[in-house]
């Protein structure tokens, strides 16, 4: 029996005022994403998504822009509520949690890293990392000790008293990562965390993430639009199809790119994912040649 940390079953998210009616029409008449928009003025964000993340893996969600990746990940700490389906995080039905329990899960069990980390500009690096602990009411000595440990882990020793604006983009993302690690979460949710970085810095951050993961084996759900990145960091990859936010495939990747970028198995997997997405594009163009 796998040790499931996250489980989604048949999750749908339809955006719009008439989402429930649209959902009903999808169920009874199996109408398409286009018809959902035309008949109900609603947008299908994700459609019938199911997957399971095991403890200690880096599970990648890969898909082109607009394929529902952010929508998917925001369900996991209930920033978004599903229109249908069930979601279990760390053994708890996340949808039925009370507000107090939800706050607890967000503060102690789930860390989040986004593309733009929104660091606090007037606080030092040390205080940025310690901030979630301050919110939690931890004493200063403990906050600073944890902050230091997390900054050491992301190679920012010596930058404690700097302000975010004094750091490069890559270093700011590391501060964000350290901040997410400060509450010692069971799960790290990373939504395109390195997408805004230049190629070299990005590659370096991927390796650092894998190193950190090898040392600790925390559970990561990592979102990316890059096929290469998914193959480098992922133990498994959920490939999302943009039509309409469905799961296209789930593949084993075993962190193939870790130190082995360019090897045959690595390029083979990349090609396979590329072909899957490209097949979608061709179908779409055939269906709507003048769109």
- Find residue 190's DSSP bridge partners: 113, 222
Let me know: does 47 contact 244? Beta carbons within 8 Å: yes
The interface mask with ligand ADP, positions 240-269, x = CB under 6 A, is -----x------------------------
State in angstroms the smallest separation of the CB of 126 from ligand ADP.
Answer: 32
Q: Per CB under 6 A, does 15 bind ligand ADP?
A: yes
| Number of residues located near ligand ADP, criterion CB under 6 A | 12
CA separation, residue 11 to residues 47, 88, 189 (Å): 7, 11, 18
Question: Binding to Mg ion (CB under 5 A): which residues in 67-96?
Answer: 69-70
Burial 121-143 (b: 16+ CB within 10 A, else e): eeebbbbbbbbbbeeeebeeeeb
DSSP for 160-190, please give it.
Answer: TT--GGGS-HHHHHHHHHHHHHHT--SEEEE
Question: Binding to Mg ion (CB under 5 A): which residues in 42-71?
Answer: 69-70
Residue labelled with tokens 């990747």: 253
State in angstroms the smallest separation of the CB of 70 from Mg ion.
Answer: 3
Distance separating alpha carbons of residues 130 and 181, to the nearest angstrom: 10
Contacts of 46 (CB under 8 A, 6+ apart): 11, 12, 13, 68, 71, 72, 245, 246
73 vs 154 by CB, closer to ligand ADP: 73
Q: Per CB under 5 A, does 219 bind Mg ion?
A: no
185 binds, among ligand ADP, Mg ion, none (CB under 5 to 8 A by kind): none
206 binds, among Mg ion, ligand ADP, none (CB under 5 to 8 A by kind): none
State in angstroms the smallest separation of the CB of 90 from Mg ion.
Answer: 24
- Kindly state the helix (H) or strand (E) to which residue 267 belongs, with its residue range: helix 264-287
71 vs 83 by CB, closer to ligand ADP: 71
177 vs 238 by CB, closer to ligand ADP: 238
Question: Binding to ligand ADP (CB under 6 A): which residues in 36-75?
Answer: 43, 45, 63, 65-71
Task: Judge if the upstream peptide bond of residue 244 is cis by omega within 30 degrees of 0.
Answer: yes
Question: Which residues lie near Mg ion (CB under 5 A)?
Answer: 69-70
| Residues near ligand ADP (CB under 6 A) | 15, 43, 45, 63, 65-71, 245
């Amino acid at each position: 029996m796998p040790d499931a940390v996250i489980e989604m079953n048949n999750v749908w998210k339809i955006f719009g005022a008439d989402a429930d009616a649209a959902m009903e029409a999808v169920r009874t008449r199996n109408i398409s994403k286009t018809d959902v928009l035309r008949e109900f003025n609603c947008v299908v964000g994700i459609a019938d998504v199911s997957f399971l993340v095991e403890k200690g893996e880096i599970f990648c969600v890969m898909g082109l822009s607009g394929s529902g990746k952010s929508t998917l990940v925001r369900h996991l700490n209930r920033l978004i509520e599903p229109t249908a389906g069930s979601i279990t995080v760390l053994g708890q039905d996340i949808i039925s949690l009370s507000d107090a329990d939800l706050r607890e899960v967000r503060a102690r069990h789930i860390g989040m890293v986004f593309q733009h980390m929104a660091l606090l500009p007037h606080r030092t690096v040390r205080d940025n990392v310690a901030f979630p602990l301050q919110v939690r009411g931890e004493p200063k000595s403990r906050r600073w000790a944890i902050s230091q440990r997390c900054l050491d882990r992301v190679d920012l020793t010596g930058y404690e008293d700097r302000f975010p604006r004094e750091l490069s983009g890559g270093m700011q993302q590391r501060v964000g990562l350290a901040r997410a690690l400060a509450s010692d979460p069971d799960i790290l949710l990373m939504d395109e965390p390195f997408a805004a970085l230049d190629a070299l810095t990005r590659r370096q951050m991927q390796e650092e993430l894998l190193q950190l993961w090898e040392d600790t084996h925390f559970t990561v759900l990592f979102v990316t639009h890059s096929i290469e990145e998914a193959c480098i960091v992922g133990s498994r990859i959920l490939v999302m199809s943009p039509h309409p936010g469905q799961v296209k495939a789930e593949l084993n990747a075993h962190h193939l790119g870790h130190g082995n970028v360019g090897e045959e198995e690595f390029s083979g997997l990349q090609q396979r994912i590329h072909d899957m997405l490209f097949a979608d594009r061709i179908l779409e163009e055939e269906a709507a040649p003048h769109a």
